[in-house]
Structure 1
Amino acid sequence: MTIGWIGIGKMGSAMCLRALAAGHSVKLVEPRAENRAAAVAAGGVPVASVDDLAQQVDLIFLTLPDDAVLRTVMLDPVEGLARSVSDRHTVVEMSTVSPSISREVAAALSARGCDYLRAPISGSTATAASGSLTVLASGPRPAFDRCEAVFRSFSNRMMHVGEGDEGRYLKLVINSMVAASSALLAEALALGRAGNLSTETMMDAIMQSVVASPLLGYKKDMVVTGDFTPAFGLTQMMKDLDLVLEAANEGGAPTELFLTIRERYEAAVEAGLGQEDFFALAALRPDHGDAKR
């Protein structure tokens, strides 16, 4: 299958490489040469613009960093993809963005007769590279079915959860709990250190208890060694928390805990940990200014 891909960052690159390895032909738009280098080396074909891409392929995937970039790529009045698509196209947007920008994109694509699948993914660059992401999709079921072969190249779990923006909300539900896990672990570890327990002892016990989880398993070595080389950055998680708060406020859902958790992330950024993995929050000590809050 020949597909288009817009946005080849860390996650997009890992996913695109899996699609290429599965035998799909990929034409890609990525302005940064260093970002697209691995995909091009694996057989991806660079295309000059999103308009050119839409002329060459019917199925287009996007992995973009945030609402602002999505708005520019999709809705720019001169160069936006929405201007170039028609009823032969399916657009599959896989980023973590707000339901509100997703609704804007949906309206623009609907006006062109284009199918729009919201398909944010759950996982990390490591799970992308191993082909074990989870796809949380919503939109027209026939569009989901058309994408299944590509999804299978980087995902081993695919869910179709509705016809609108349900996938966006499900992604925020999951990420809110991921963000909370780091904040809760930070206070739990601080409590244990007050009782002279080592981080290693606590993490070993936690992983043998009823509160063990795949997430804590992924992050255990990082927490024990203190090497927080980012798989997903702390400031990135703050961005996702802002999306959670926006969606909760729009829908009239409670936000008290979300606000408290975001304050802990703010404190970590102020302590100089913004570029570390978001689980650096779980190892904050008194010298970082937040461990005894």
Structure 2
Amino acid sequence: MAKKSIGFIGTGVMGTSMVRHLMKGGHHVAVYNRTKRKADDLIKEGAQWCASPAQLARESEVILTIVGYPHDVEELYFGKDGILANAGQGTYVVDMTTSKPALAQQLYNEAKKYGIYALDAPVSGGDTGAREAKLAIMAGGDEPVFKELLPVLELMGENIRLQGDAGAGQYTKMANQIAIASTMMGVSEALAYAKKAGLDQENVLQTIETGAAGSFSLSKLGPRMIAGDFAPGFYIKHFIKDMAIAIESADELGLKTPGLVVAKKLYQELAEKGEENSGTQALYKYYMENS
């Protein structure tokens, strides 16, 4: 792909790093965020500020979005002031928000009516993966579109796979979140147990992370738990949203997910105690405060 004019909406914890990688890759990047100050550093570094999603859509050949909730995706893309109504024919749109598979399919179908190519491409890897350009990117859509956009996606991630038709990226992300939900309970329980047993938690962590218990959550978030660092690499409030989507989707498929249900309950209890803007590793607090 020749260098494209890229529009990026959602310069939050992960989006800011993703934009930097796109600019380092030689692309002109225009940005929009509901809170402009969150884009100030990027603007100083050379990103173009757009006053609205409609303006960004009119000025971009490729549009990437990573926002909070499905209703944010709907607001961005649909309606007379939305991306689809203002982007030109032949524009590529990639929604990287973790959202509903059905919404991804709706976006794909609506984009087609405007002559716009759409992918759903949610990501995993948190703030660390975004910063290091090592995100896992799970795409759903048409293979020619995926291949055309692959050079752009490779600037932000390493494990990038087309999972199937529109919506398949979101289904894959739900599988990812289901796996993480129970894993986070296990990591939190294990480190709380080690502390209660009077063990050196760091020594325990360094031992078990190379065995069968090894996981991203253990190696990357375990040290933050031990250090009492609960700053968000991924917000609890967004993880609760993801788990709710996964439970709804699993119900539609006729699948029971007891681990996911319990994890969502625990995270909701934390949110009700004011932890909704903490990182998901704050689940450790639940075990330490309830023992």
TM-score, normalised to structure 2, is 0.91
What residue identity is the alignment partner of 2:108?
A: A
Structure 1 residue 64 corresponds to structure 2 residue 57: no
Please state how far the C-alpha of 1:271 moved relative to its aligned partner.
4.3
Q: Is the 8 A contact 2:7 2:63 kept in 1?
A: yes
Which residue matches 2:94? 92
Which residue matches 2:111? 109
After superposing on structure 2, the runs of 4+ consecutive aligned residues of structure 1 that deviate more than 6 Å are none
Structure 1 residue 19 corresponds to structure 2 residue 29: no
Q: 270, 277, 281: which is aligned to 1:268?
A: 270
Out of 226-235 and 116-125, give the one that drifted further. 226-235
Question: What SS does structure 2 have at the residue aligned with 1:161?
Answer: strand
Please state how far the C-alpha of 1:281 moved relative to its aligned partner.
1.1
**Alpha-carbon distance in structure 2 between the residues aligned to 1:202 and 1:271:** 29
Which residue matches 2:242? 240
Which residue matches 2:33? 30
Q: Is the 8 A contact 1:189 1:283 kept in 2?
A: no
**Alpha-carbon distance in structure 2 between the residues aligned to 1:21 and 1:251:** 42
Please state how far the C-alpha of 1:117 moved relative to its aligned partner.
0.7
Please state how far the C-alpha of 1:206 moved relative to its aligned partner.
1.9
- Written as runs of structure 1 = structure 2, the 5 A alignment for 1:170-181 is 170-181=172-183
Structure 1 residues 93 and 197: CA distance shift in structure 2, 3 A: same
Which residue matches 2:48? 45
Q: 204, 219, 222: which is aligned to 1:220?
A: 222
What residue identity is the alignment partner of 1:260?
A: V
What residue identity is the alignment partner of 1:129?
A: R
Please state how far the C-alpha of 1:69 moved relative to its aligned partner.
0.8
**Alpha-carbon distance in structure 1 between the residues aligned to 2:96 and 2:13:** 13
Task: Give the root-mean-square deviation of aligned CA atoms.
Answer: 2.0
Which residue matches 1:156? 158
Q: Is the 8 A contact 2:136 2:159 kept in 1?
A: yes
Which residue matches 1:4? 7
Structure 1 residues 212 and 49: CA distance shift in structure 2, 3 A: same
Please state how far the C-alpha of 1:37 moved relative to its aligned partner.
1.0
**Alpha-carbon distance in structure 1 between the residues aligned to 2:191 and 2:131:** 31
Question: What SS does structure 2 have at the residue aligned with 1:169?
Answer: helix
- Written as runs of structure 1 = structure 2, the 5 A alignment for 1:117-156 is 117-156=119-158
Please state how far the C-alpha of 1:192 moved relative to its aligned partner.
4.3
Which residues of structure 1 form unaligned runs of 5+? none
Which residue matches 1:259? 261
**Alpha-carbon distance in structure 2 between the residues aligned to 1:6 and 1:188:** 38
What residue identity is the alignment partner of 1:212?
A: G
**Alpha-carbon distance in structure 2 between the residues aligned to 1:37 and 1:166:** 34
What residue identity is the alignment partner of 2:103?
A: I
Count of aligned pairs: 288
**Alpha-carbon distance in structure 2 between the residues aligned to 1:175 and 1:66:** 15
What residue identity is the alignment partner of 1:227?
A: D
Provide the identity percentage: 23
Please state how far the C-alpha of 1:48 moved relative to its aligned partner.
2.7
**Alpha-carbon distance in structure 2 between the residues aligned to 1:147 and 1:249:** 33
What residue identity is the alignment partner of 2:142?
A: P
What residue identity is the alignment partner of 2:122?
A: P
**Alpha-carbon distance in structure 2 between the residues aligned to 1:270 and 1:121:** 27
TM-score, normalised to structure 1, is 0.90
Please state how far the C-alpha of 1:165 moved relative to its aligned partner.
1.0
Question: What SS does structure 2 have at the residue aligned with 1:153?
Answer: coil
